[in-house]
Amino acid sequence: MNDPLAKIKPWFQGVSLFWPVLGLGLLLIFNAVFSPSFFHLEIRDGHLYGTLVDILNQGSKVMLLAIGMTLVIATGGVDLSVGSLMAIAGAVAAMLVMKISFAMAVAISLGLATVAGTCNGLLIGYAGIQPIIATLILMVAGRGLAMLLTGGQIITFEHPSFVFLGNGHFLGLPFTVTIVAIVLCFTLVATRKTAIGLFLESVGDNEKAARYCGINAALVKVMVYAYSGLCAGIAGLIATSNIKAADSSRVGEFMELDAIFAVVVGGTPLTGGRFSLVGSVIGALLIQTLTITMYNLGVAPAVSPVPKAIVIVAVCLMQSARFRAQILGWFGKRRIAA
């Protein structure tokens, strides 16, 4: 332990929750200082209200997408189609919910999203197409299909259960929080308490080696893209329920980028391998907090991509071995000088 850097070095290496938590913490402290009402919570009609609750509620869609995206990125892929799948699921559910039972409408729309995700997986796993391109196809065509379904119109609906999905409260918190918690717990158990997580990491780390070990890499890929599709479907239902209408041309637009961003900020490298679901959820919360901070500061929503861009590049640099070496080099020199 002669190396004075030994203590900080681990923070710079591997998947660690340190950076996303630090980022989120800094943002929260910043808000606490500059907008005192930020941490204000109050109970009205038995429901909790406040900015923090808003972050959880509005961040739910990106959190859901990020959970599915984490698994995809863990296998070394990426899923660009989630925004379009949200639009498809929302459009289908909005059209069916007035005609058939709510449960059936939800099942059919989520089923469709899962099938579409499976198609991505088949193209990537079995046809060997690059993930960016395979999912780009569905991203472009999927939104077209969603608009075709709704005839390019915004479809509105009145259905108490469906509206509850995105606007209701459960245990004093928005119901969306419960949905995210359930999906997160299920995914955590599925990946950490079974061998699936190990399969994902080995496929992402070295596909060839994984295949030689007897892991069906193609099947693993199909599964993660199908799951990503399912998560996107749930997020689409929430987004549609939020505004009580299916707006196929707008819903989920650019959300795939937010989701990828959340995953990367959360410490899962785009190259695949190790992943952190909790990190991705924290990353999603960080984005939402950033957005709400911008609103609080009175920055125009249109300008808000700028800080996002800065965070992306900063996070990329943090993950770069060369950049870390450079920074550590500076620290080292200073230590020696002192």
Partner 1 sequence: MYEGFFSGRVITNLFADNAALGIAAVVMTLVILSGGIDLSVGSMLGFTTILIAVLVQQKGMHPLSAIAIALGIGTVFGAFMGFLIHRYDLPPFLVTLGGMFLARGMAFVISKESLGIENAFYNHMADFGIPLGGKAALSATALIYLLLFALGIVVTHFTPFGRNIYALGGSEPSARLMGVPIGSTKIAVYALSGFGAALAGAVSTFYTTSGNPTTGGGFELDVIASVVIGGTLLTGGVGTQLGTLAGVLIFGTIHSALDFDGRLNSYWLRIAIGGLLLIFILFQRFLTRTSALTR
Determine how many CB atoms are found less than 10 A away from the CB of residue 38.
19
Burial class (CB in 10 A: 0-12, 13-18, 19+), 92: buried
* Choices 10-18, 41-49, 53-61, 314-322 (CB under 8 A): range interacting with partner 1: 314-322
Task: State the nearest-atom distance from the C-beta of 126 to partner 1, in Å.
Answer: 11
Task: State the nearest-atom distance from the C-beta of 206 to partner 1, in Å.
Answer: 9
- CA dist 67 to 77, 121, 172, 284, Å? 14, 17, 24, 9
Q: Mask of contacts with partner 1, 73-92, x by CB under 8 A? A: -----x--------------
Helix axes 60-74, 217-242, angle to 10 degrees: 170
Q: Tell me how many degrees the CA angle 167-158-291 measures, rounded to the nearest 5.
A: 35
Task: State the nearest-atom distance from the C-beta of 278 to partner 1, in Å.
Answer: 21
Among 144, 182, 189, 250, binds partner 1 (CB under 8 A): 144
Q: Which of residues 242-261 bind partner 1 (CB under 8 A)?
A: 257, 260-261
Amino acid at 276: S
Q: Which CB sits closer to partner 1, 189 or 209?
A: 209
Among 26, 140, 195, 297, binds partner 1 (CB under 8 A): 140
Q: Which of residues 184-213 bind partner 1 (CB under 8 A)?
A: 207
Spatial separation of the C-alpha atoms in residues 154 and 183, rounded to whole Å: 29
Task: State the nearest-atom distance from the C-beta of 39 to partner 1, in Å.
Answer: 28
- CA dist 105 to 57, 62, 83, 233, 249, Å? 23, 23, 20, 12, 21
Contacts of 271 (CB under 8 A, 6+ apart): 76, 204
Q: Are the C-beta atoms of 176 and 169 separated by less than 8 Å?
A: no
Q: Tell me how many degrees the CA angle 106-85-93 measures, rounded to the nearest 5.
A: 25
Q: Mask of contacts with partner 1, 265-294, x by CB under 8 A? A: -----xx-----------------------
Residue 304 touching partner 1 (CB under 8 A): yes
Q: Which CB sits closer to partner 1, 52 or 139?
A: 139
Contacts of 329 (CB under 8 A, 6+ apart): none
Q: Which CB sits closer to partner 1, 76 or 166?
A: 76
- State how beta strands 41-44 and 169-170 pair: unpaired
Residue 303 touching partner 1 (CB under 8 A): yes
Task: State the nearest-atom distance from the C-beta of 337 to partner 1, in Å.
Answer: 25
* Choices 49-57, 94-102, 142-150, 239-247 (CB under 8 A): range interacting with partner 1: 142-150
Going by C-alpha positions, the residue among 116, 102, 108, 118 that lies closest to residue 241 is 102
Residue 306 touching partner 1 (CB under 8 A): yes
Residue 113 touching partner 1 (CB under 8 A): no
- Phi, psi (rounded to 5 degrees) for 278: -65, -40
* Choices 8-16, 30-38, 96-104, 306-314 (CB under 8 A): range interacting with partner 1: 306-314
Residues that bind partner 1 (CB under 8 A): 78, 123, 127-130, 132-134, 136-145, 147-148, 152, 207, 257, 260-261, 264, 270-271, 300, 302-310, 312-313, 316-317, 319-323
